[in-house]
């Protein structure tokens, strides 16, 4: 079991929908947090709002960094090392999305998706895992997506980043488990976070009417299940019912899942809720 009270946890993308819930719930658990986001002012404002309500736990630092580059990841590592406080848990939560047909998305946009969603977790894991291996203690958590198991139309680039993160997490698990370093990968379905308002491009985007409200999940519930998966040292966490069902269909009834995805695609184009 991974302990949370007094545990030092680094969270990337801390001012987003999942990031804020992680911050709130981990403070309630008594954790000591190092928080990062591209906009430090926004991060501090949102953390201050949480701390008005949650009096437990501790925020050790709020750091501003762009994780879309190798230099940004290295800068974050140096900033954290300068605190002289070993990180017990690294949560690679920062992520961005977009929607559009593969050939109609500007290359600089989808390349940034790969940089933030896949390369940043890989880079940060490599940096912090070395310290964890030396201490024979640590936990790395990668927030992937159900899109890391099945790819919807209009999400080829996003799915590629999340499929890659799933594969990286599995390989990392097998490489560090002998050093008492845990790895957890999380696969939530689409939740009520800013990523639902990601940029859209081209033909598919013109037909897309948005995610029906009854399909999206509550980020507080999703992160509550995620934290329980971390505590239990689970490698794979499916933190909502849709993620659990789709994962099982993908493994055992892939043709049925293809039919469901096709039907869901028609719903997304029409904007129907049922």
With respect to residue 1, please indicate whether it lies within any of the assigned structural domains.
no
Burial 30-51 (b: 16+ CB within 10 A, else e): ebbbbbbbbeeeebbebbeebb
Tell me the average pLDDT across 80-107: 95
Joined together, the tokens standing for residue 251 give 């493994």
Whether 231 is covered by a domain: the verdict is: yes
pLDDT tens track for 168-208: 999 999 999 999 999 999 999 888 777 767 788 888 777 76
In the chain the first and final C-alpha atoms are separated, in Å, by 40
Instruction: For the chain, give the number of residues.
Output: 274
Contact (Cβ atoms closer than 8 angstroms) between residue 240 and residue 217:
yes
Kindly state whether residue 238 falls inside one of the protein's structural domains. Answer: yes
235 within 8 A of 173, measured Cβ to Cβ: yes
- The percentage of the chain sitting over the pLDDT mark of 70, rounded to a whole number, equals 92
Q: Catalytic: which of 158, 187, 201, 252?
A: 158
Is residue 201 annotated as part of the catalytic site, yes or no?
A: no
At 262, the pLDDT band (50, 70, 90 cuts) reads confident
Residue 219 resides in a domain: yes
Q: What is the pLDDT of residues 149-175, one digit of tens each?
A: 988 888 899 999 999 999 999 999 999
- Asked whether the predicted pLDDT for residue 210 surpasses 70, the reply is no
Q: pLDDT tens-digit profile of 16-26?
A: 889 999 999 99
Give the CATH number of the domain where residue 87 resides. Answer: 3.40.50.720
In a domain, 262, yes or no: yes
> Is 23 within a domain?
yes
**For 63-87, how does the pLDDT look when each residue is reduced to its tens digit (9 = 90+)?**
999 999 999 999 999 999 999 999 9
Number of domain units in the chain: 1
In a domain, 3, yes or no: no
Query: What is the reported pTM?
Result: 0.91
Distance CA(128)–CA(81), nearest Å, equals 10
pLDDT tens digits, one per residue of 127-140 = 999 999 999 999 99
DSSP string, 79-108: HHHHTT---SEEEE-----EEE-GGGS-HH
What's the burial of 136, exposed, middle or buried (CB within 10 Å: 0-12/13-18/19+)?
A: exposed
Q: What is the model's pLDDT at position 252?
A: 87
* Greatest mean pLDDT range, 7-11, 189-193, 243-247: 7-11
Does residue 49 contact residue 9 with C-beta atoms inside 8 Å?
Answer: no
Q: Please state the rounded mean pLDDT for residues 218-228.
A: 95
Alpha helix ranges (H) inside the chain: 17-28, 40-53, 70-82, 107-114, 120-135, 156-176, 202-207, 219-231, 241-252, 254-270
Residue-range definition of the domain harbouring residue 168: 8-270
Residue 192 belongs to some domain of the structure? yes
């Amino acid at each position: 079991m991974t302990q949370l009270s007094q545990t030092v946890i680094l969270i990337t993308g801390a001012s987003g929908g999942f990031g804020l819930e992680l911050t709130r719930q981990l403070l309630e658990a008594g954790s000591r947090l190092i928080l990062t986001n591209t906009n430090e002012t926004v991060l501090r404002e949102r953390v201050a709002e949480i701390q008005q309500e949650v009096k437990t736990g501790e925020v050790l630092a709020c750091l501003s960094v762009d994780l879309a580059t190798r230099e940004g990841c290295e800068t974050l590592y140096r900033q954290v090392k300068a605190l002289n406080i070993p990180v017990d848990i690294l949560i690679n939560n920062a992520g961005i999305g977009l929607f559009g047909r593969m050939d109609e998305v500007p290359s600089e946009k989808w390349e940034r998706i790969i940089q933030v969603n896949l390369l940043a977790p890989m880079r940060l894991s490599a940096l912090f895992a070395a310290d964890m291996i030396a201490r024979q203690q640590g936990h790395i958590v990668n927030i992937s997506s159900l899109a890391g198991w099945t790819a919807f139309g209009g999400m080829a680039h996003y799915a590629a980043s999340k499929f890659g993160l799933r594969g990286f997490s599995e390989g990392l698990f097998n490489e560090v488990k002998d050093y008492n370093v845990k790895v957890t990968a999380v696969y939530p379905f689409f939740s009520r976070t800013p990523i639902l308002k990601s940029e859209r491009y081209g033909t598919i985007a013109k037909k897309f009417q948005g995610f029906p409200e009854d399909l999206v999940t509550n980020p507080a519930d999703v992160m509550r299940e995620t934290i329980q998966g971390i505590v239990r040292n689970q490698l794979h966490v499916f933190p909502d019912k849709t993620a659990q069902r789709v994962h099982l269909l993908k493994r055992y009834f892939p043709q049925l899942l293809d039919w469901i995805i096709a039907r869901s695609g028609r719903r997304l184009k029409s904007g129907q809720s049922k």
